[in-house]
Structure 1
Amino acid sequence: MQFASKKNYALIIAVIASFITPFVGSSINVALPSIASEFHINAILLSWIPTSYLLSLAVFLVPFGRIADIWGRKRIFTYGITIFTIASFISIFSVSGEMLIILRIFQGLGSAMIFGNLFAIIASVFPEKERGRAFGITIVGVFLGLFLGPVLGGILTQYFGWRSIFLFNVPIGVISIISVLRLKGEWAYAKGEKFDIIGSIILGITLILIMYGFSILPDIYGGILILAGFIGFLTFIMVEKRIESPVIDINIFKNRSFTSNNIAAFINYSSAMSIIFLLSLYLQYIKDFNPQDAGLILSVQPICMTVFSPFAGNLSDKMAPEKVASVGMGIASLGLITFSVINENTSVGVIVLGLILIGIGFALFSSPNTNAVISSIEEKQYGVASATLSTMRVMGQMFGMGITMLVLALLFGNTDIAGGNNRLFLESSKIIFAIFAFLSFIGVFLSLVKNK
């Protein structure tokens, strides 16, 4: 009975925490015009409000995953949700754009401590045969956060002001803190090992260079930063091979299942970012839908993801999770192929069909992919594995938008998308969807890789 109670608390914590992290990332975008108007800040400074959060999240994910393995996953998770909640509360009283950006960095820090340990805690509490279902339920929170973020963010901003978005996070954070404190037990399977500060700093700088580089493509400085980031990554590998207790044991990547399924997750999330962005423009510029109707059509995808994720997780407990994830990636690639041939005359029914295919595909991929990654390594590495997977997802999102912006810039140049250039926009969209359809097809085979 006590074990069942522990699992229930773990699931409550997981769903709330998995919701709050993507919610705070997506909801703030709707409020940016209101924030800019109040603080009178320019576009560059405004862009740092969402970017600072993502960069902070990516930089701290792996280090805090490792710290959690050493000092305790529940402890670091509790610190994370506390920091996140306090930063959200203080954000309500922001008096400048600079102050808000600093608080967003602290939100990203807290989110890294939360999300870097989330799947590791689930894996520690649930036996292997029940993990898939638990991961599936947890990922429902992620999809709900991504879906409800812009919707709730828009409603809160319109009726209560942008500060209400941060106020909304506070009670959710308090509930999470209470729940995690009631969760019995602690997991620190690498207790006593040293923390690698040098490797963590090199990794952090590397991720900043690569992510920021992708965010400013196709500017030449973007390419330079990305190249510098890859040099930093090679340096990181050489340093980690010589350290007794590295932040990431490079040997973990010799695990074929771990490495290939992380790459598959990177591909999956890179395509996810471009879909909503491009289809939102397509429905409004090409099909003349208003924003509300376009949003309703686009909601088909996250609804399918929410409905099918628990089923997919449960299925991955009964058969090889790699196979379920591979089928999911295959179905998603069919949806992307559908969008790679759209034109002015494509019916809404075809768009909805493509969204259904991608929604089901992503659902079948996400929790089985998580199950495959976590189940492929030793228990003492769960924290690092969970954080690495989360990093792949964040990096994938930045890569996806970087590729999308690069293609649009090459075809459009300085031409306004809204200036009646339907042909150029459709050509660009087809190329982008074809690129991600091809990558997803490769992901089908990457998901099938198992250790021999």
Structure 2
Amino acid sequence: MDGASFRDQMDTRQKIIIAILMLGTLLGSLDTTIVILAFPSISQGLHADLLSTIWIILIYLLVVAVFTTQLGRLGDLYGRSRMFNTGFGVFTFGSLICGLSPAISWLIVSRGVQAFGGALMQANSGAIIADTFPPQSRGTAFGYISLGWTSGAMLGIVLGGIITTYFGWEYIFFINLPIGIVATILGFRYVKDDVRVKAPLDITGMLLLGSALTLISYAGVDFAGEGLAAASELSAVVGILAIALFLFYESRTKNPFINFSAFNNRVLKFSVMAAFFLSLGYLSVVFLITMYLQGIRALSPLDAALLLTPGYIVGSLLSPAMGRLSDRYGARVLATLGAATLILATFVYLTLGLDTPLWVVLVASGISGIGSAMFFPSNNSAVMANAPHGTYGGISGILRTVQNIGILGSFIIAITVASLSIPRDVAFEIFIGTTNLAGGVSNAFLQGIDASLWASIIIMAIAAVLSWMRGHEERQTGHS
């Protein structure tokens, strides 16, 4: 099915639904990249120190990683569309209070509210696609969702520099308001479902898993920001124990929070595992190359980000087509080739030196765009195509959770590796573009980046192996 026939076969309601889902994905992605470019302005405007300001990124990643699984399960219980539409409203309200923040503490809390709305949308968007589109066209639908993600990341890069330069950092949040209001109204009108799973809510399981993810995430973030300390070590140990307790409880409760029996499906199990490792490895590369451009090559955050836009553009253009290919041939070959292509791009990044021509970054970015377009739509489609009916929300939430934990882990890896060769506070300043290095320090920092890129290659190679191990996939041909 080509792009034109896919659009022709959709009725008006399906077209509106896919547009709203794309908008939700676009805004969530935009607010991930646009904030980075506004860091110096926010820090100066709110008279905040660097380590406090960095939490406006960390709190967003943490909240989304912790709550996505739970909120996907709530979608199964009380309606995916209801949870998604509520999330759009919460995200819009969170954007408003972010822009009105009088102090950094207020902004951090407001970003948490915004992230909760984003988690509601992320957790249920995949399930809404599974409810709305038949299995043989879900890959194409996920391709359009990936188009929203890459377009949002690209727009965040461009708009972040323009808005903070000419209007002020507050407007990076206010720009969400008109889109969010219109999308929320349209969502409650058109994005509806009657799917419900009649099972009591597993409050204990939710609390155990939420506590475990919060403690482990806090430990990782604290380690990235402060290094080894008793608080982070204790948090990590208690978090791991909480996961063990969660698994023990879930194996004995009548209505488990996560349906682990669904992972008896080989394709589903290995697709979710591949998604985690690829997110962990690939996003580490993006963070590290940003630090290379700003720290070693002394580029501004905007100029550094613009050098990475070819990847977003290529990914945006190719994602729908790659989704259609996965509908036709399954995800195994396409997703595995996508992971291999991202590894190839990382090898190109490894050639970067103190004076390497910057066009090499453009080439590597374009290659990575091809790889991400091949992997993510097809892999996401494989997950939802193999999720048992009635668990779409929960499985969608699990997929988003492992991807978000991977993103958080990528940030931790980037900062931690950078801080092995330079002071940790300097690594943070390089990440947000407020300082750069010179001389022997640059050479030491480059060696640290190269070591981390090799680690990312190994992590993505694990993702590629897991992707291939999913085996041959048989797509259904009927409506769900």
Normalized against structure 2, the TM-score is what? 0.88
Gaps of 5+ in 2: 1-7, 428-436, 473-480
1:438 is matched by which residue type in structure 2? I
Runs (4 or more) in structure 1 with deviation over 6 Å come to none
Query: 1:6 touches 1:125 (CA, 8 Å); kept in 2?
Result: no
The runs of 5 or more residues in structure 1 that have no matched partner are none
Q: 2:5: which partner in 1?
A: none
Letter in 1 for 2:112: I
Tell me the distance in 2 between the aligned counterparts of 1:184 and 1:433: 42
Give the Cα separation in 1 of the matches to 2:9 and 2:417: 55
Q: Quickly say closer, same or farther: Cα 1:57–1:184, change in 2 above 3 A.
A: closer
**Deviation per CA, 1:201-240, whole angstroms, max 9, x where unpaired?**
1111111122222223352234543343222212211111
CA root-mean-square deviation: 2.2
After superposition, what is the alpha-carbon deviation per residue over 1:245-276, rounded to whole angstroms, capped at 9, x for unaligned?
22212223333322221221112222333223
Question: Hey, what's the Cα distance between the residues in 2 that align with 1:347 and 1:225?
Answer: 44
Are 1:386 and 2:386 an aligned pair? no
Task: Spell out, residue by residue over 1:127-174, the C-alpha distance to the aligned partner (whole angstroms, 9 max, x if none).
Answer: 011111110011111111222213212222222212212211111111
1:214 equivalent in structure 2: 220
Q: Deviations over 1:49-80 (max 9, x none)?
A: 22222222222211110011011111111111
Change (3 A) 1:133 1:409: same
Q: In the alignment, what sits opposite 2:4?
A: none
In structure 1, which of residues 114, 127, 152 is the aligned counterpart of residue 159 of structure 2?
Answer: 152
Q: Any idea what the Cα deviations from partners look like across 1:156-193, whole Å, max 9, x if unmatched?
A: 22222122122111111112112212326414241x21
Match in the other structure for 1:442: 462
- Equivalent residue for 2:453, pick from 416, 433, 440: 433
Matched position secondary structure for 1:379: coil
Aligned pairs for 1:291-310 within 5 A: 291-310=301-320
Amino acid at match of 1:220: L
Instruction: Answer yes or no: is 1:169 the counterpart of 2:179.
Output: no
Q: How much does 1:13 deviate? A: 0.9
CA apart distance, 1:413: 4.9
The more displaced of 365-374 and 285-294 is: 285-294
Alignment partners' CA distance in 2, 1:125 and 1:14: 12
Aligned to 1:407: 417
Could you tell me which residue of structure 2 aligns to residue 71 of structure 1? 78
Match of 2:137 in 1: 130
Superposed, 1:156-305 pairs within 5 Å as 156-183=163-190, 185-190=192-197, 192-217=198-223, 219-221=227-229, 222-287=232-297, 289=299, 291-305=301-315
C-alpha distance in structure 2 between counterparts of 1:317 and 1:399, whole Å: 31
Distance 1:173 1:428 in 2: 41
Report which stretch shifted further, 232-241 or 82-91.
82-91
CA-CA distance at 1:287 after TM superposition: 4.3
Structure 1 counterpart of 2:18: 11
Asked whether the 8 Å contact 2:81–2:191 carries over to 1, the reply is no
Out of 392-401 and 50-59, give the one that drifted further.
50-59
1:433 counterpart SS class: helix
* Secondary structure, aligned partner of 2:354: coil
Letter paired with 1:253: F
Distance in 2 (CA, whole Å) between partners of 1:284 and 1:96 is 27
CA distance in 1, matches of 2:215, 2:31: 23
Counterparts of 1:83 and 1:275, CA distance in 2:
31
**Mapped partners of 1:184, 1:352: distance in 2:** 39
**Conservation of the 8 A alpha-carbon contact between 1:9 and 1:182:** no
Query: CA offset at residue 2 of structure 1?
Result: 10
Q: Which deviations, in whole Å up to 9, do the C-alpha atoms of 1:371-426 show, x marking residues without a partner?
A: 11111111211111111111111111111122222222233356956143122122
Among candidates 420, 424, 428, match of residue 444 of structure 2: 424
Does the 8 Å CA contact 1:257/1:373 hold for their aligned counterparts? yes
Mapped to 1, the partners of 2:236 and 2:449 lie a distance apart of 24
Q: How far has the Cα of 1:19 moved from its partner?
A: 0.4
TM-score normalized by structure 1?
0.93
Which deviates further from its counterpart, 222-231 or 57-66?
222-231
Partner of 2:477 in structure 1? Answer: none
- Sequence identity of aligned pairs in percent? 30
Describe the SS at the equivalent of 1:217: helix
CA distances 1:326-353 after superposition (whole Å, capped 9, x unpaired): 1100111111122234333534343332
The change in CA–CA distance for 1:415 and 1:194 in structure 2 (over 3 A counts) is closer
The AA in structure 1 aligned to 2:130 is: A
Shift of 1:366: 0.6
1:85 and 2:105 correspond: no
Identify the residue that residue 101 of structure 1 maps to in structure 2: 108
Partner of 1:323: 333
Query: Aligned with 1:244: secondary structure?
Result: coil
Distance 1:163 1:411, change over 3 A: closer
